[in-house]
Amino acid sequence: MRASVIANRDYVISEIDNRIYGAFLEHLGRAIYSGIYEPDHPTADKNGMRADVAELVRGLDVPMVRYPGGNFVSAYNWEDGIGPREQRPTRLDLAWHTSESNQVGIHEFADWCETVGTQMMLAVNLGSRGLEEARNFVEYVNGPTGSYWGDLRKKNGRADPWYVKMWCLGNEMDGPWQIGHKTADEYGRLASETAKALRAFDSSLELIACGSSHSNMPTYPEWERVVLEHTYETVDHISLHMYSSNYDKHTPGYLAHNVKLEAYISTVAATIDYVKAKKRSNRQVTIAFDEWNVWYHSRKQDRAILDGKHGWPHAPALLEDIYNFEDVLQVGCCLNTFIRKSDVVKLACIAQLVNVIAPIMTEPGGRSWKQTTYYPLYFASMFGRGRALNLVARCPSYEVELIGEIPYLDVAGVENEAEGTLTFFLVNRNGEEELDVELSLQGYRDARVLEHQVMTHDDLNAVNTAANPDNVAPRQGQGAVAEEDKLSVSLPPHSYQMVRVSVARG
């Protein structure tokens, strides 16, 4: 089976905002406790943070981490997580039916972000709380000393503001499951007034309004229209969420899911344009896809805790999907989608980062390791920075019910002009046949292969474990050939590849 791809240096989608490779940590399950924070762990630093986990996070070079939720934030009192730890209250978390010790709060999270080299993306509670509490949180984080909240921050050990720029105005407020769920009108008005108050404090903040929790919501896309009509002049982004699943064990349909993702993004982008035109606005609101991932492996086993049958446990194992090789292909396709839609998607967060539907797993008191899905995120984050190229691909396709024709090849291309490189991320959705791909590099010359990484496995259900952490891992590829202005590469059935070439322009 053959495919052809044209990569023309003048066919450019957008400069990629590196923040599409962001991540998410929520006070949920073991994401925080025994995830990033475990003071009795052999590798714990002076702040109680696991150094082994921090090393794996640094390896991903995530530009930002969203915190503290998620559903958790919609009933969270941020003040519970400041001051002496021994005086912090334990609260019952209604979102996940667990107890929250508040041993990690904004100070501890900020220090951890500095350790791993990332920026904070913070969320305010617009579920059980409102404008005043949001304003106070922002002032505590960013305000000067000499004011009440700045002086309280100094008293708690931090004199200098953190200057956090990215703020989420609540979480999934369209969802009936959300604490403080609202209609689009109710939420839109609250978000607009909160945004105006925050901009009165600092007009340079980047504010994110809640969009749809997923594209099957009955209110989608009307939710976006109504919310944006309230907030268009006061926010910078609208958030979208989507998770992929394969309950039916139908791989061809599963690997078509990112086509639905792409349509979701396009529909909301069109809604943004509609509201912009209606308001005669000169501003451009964009998309923050601040929750995305595969999530279905652990749902049944979590039910007893979520239904309250185990009381209010602290940091139980929840949403601990163990990812397989099939999920590598899906995550690779999703990342390719964000690259191809980088003209409208400016922020994105894989949900989540450690233990909870995450690329990194840990044992309490023990080992940490990379899940299978760590690798496509790593390759995209490392080499998917620069200009997204508008590739023209031709290849055979297959039919998926309710979605349509799906090309066997999923591909994204990025030019890093400063480094003189092109990087291609390729997925073969065909489980039976090899796919021979020829890429025409128009406007480039002197192509030379710098790096070629391949991920394949003879078992789609293969996973990594603490005992066997390298069962699914990339290997050095063979057979990628660059000749002047062409690149040829063969993709084995059900495979993910990253090919990086040096080029000259001309």
User: Tokens 């504010």 sit at which residue?
Assistant: 207
**Cα–Cα distance between 309 and 305 in angstroms, integer?**
6
SS3 447: strand
Q: What share of the chain is helix, strand, coil (3-state, %, to 5)?
A: 30, 30, 40
Which residue among 26, 291, 320, 415 is the active-site one? 291
8 Å CB contact between 255 and 429:
yes
User: Tokens 């090849």 sit at which residue?
Assistant: 409
Helix axis angle, 51-60 to 374-383, nearest 10° = 50
Phi, psi of 212 (to 5 degrees): -75, 145
8 Å CB contact between 487 and 441:
yes
Which residue among 26, 108, 172, 320 is the active-site one? 172
8 Å CB contact between 50 and 362:
yes
Told to judge if 172 belongs to the known catalytic residues of this protein, a careful annotator would answer: yes
Interstrand relation of 444-455 and 495-505 (parallel, antiparallel or unpaired)? antiparallel
**Cα–Cα distance between 53 and 362 in angstroms, integer?**
8
Told to judge if 100 belongs to the known catalytic residues of this protein, a careful annotator would answer: no
User: Tokens 């652990």 sit at which residue?
Assistant: 298
Phi, psi of 88 (to 5 degrees): -80, 140
Catalytic residues: 172, 291
